[in-house]
Amino acid sequence: MKNVKLLLIFLIVGLSSNAQNNDQSIPIRDNQGMVLILNNEIIGSVDLLKSIPSSQIQELNIHKEEKLSTKENLFYKNDNKGIMVGKTEFDIETKLQGDLNEFFGLNADTDLYVNGFLLENKNYKIASNSITKIEIIEPTNLFLDKRVLNISIK
């Protein structure tokens, strides 16, 4: 009985000390996949191609060495998977960068990251079907001076 009480006390103290952890660092992720850019304006996941009939795809190229941005990837391991570039007339539901920023309470011109890469071109749209997670990244990171959005795509 005494051992059970002692074990219970250690469990409570251990769990409560972990609950007090206020560390807001960004963990480095390694699930970055290849990014698809359609019509030089829509960013999405490669899975987006499954929703487009093959007769609607006019052109498709793979660039294994290219990155989405010239800036360093802040949130993912830097092993680049490449970019797939395509052209299609198929209508894809998209979200504008400014609209996403405003929805989350940020200025419309706030920087936006996709899979950790800064979108330098503010005219890119994000395919709605490809968005798996949207994070507001606080400026506690050494590289950031204001809050930004990081959009994860499949």
Q: What share of the chain is helix, strand, coil (3-state, %, to 5)?
A: 25, 30, 45
Query: Which of 84, 88, 83, 92 lies closest to 57, judged by CA?
Result: 88
Spatial separation of the C-alpha atoms in residues 64 and 38, rounded to whole Å? 16
- pLDDT for 77 equals 56
- pLDDT for 32 equals 57
- pLDDT tens over the chain, length 154 residues: 778 887 778 777 776 665 555 544 444 444 556 889 999 999 998 888 888 998 999 999 988 878 777 776 666 555 557 889 999 999 999 999 999 999 999 998 888 988 888 888 888 999 999 999 998 888 875 577 888 898 988 7
Summary mean pLDDT of the chain: 80
Residues with Cβ < 8 Å from 98, sequence gap 6 or more? 108, 109, 122
Spatial separation of the C-alpha atoms in residues 38 and 100, rounded to whole Å? 19
Q: What residue spans define the domains of the chain?
A: 30-153
- pLDDT for 68 equals 76
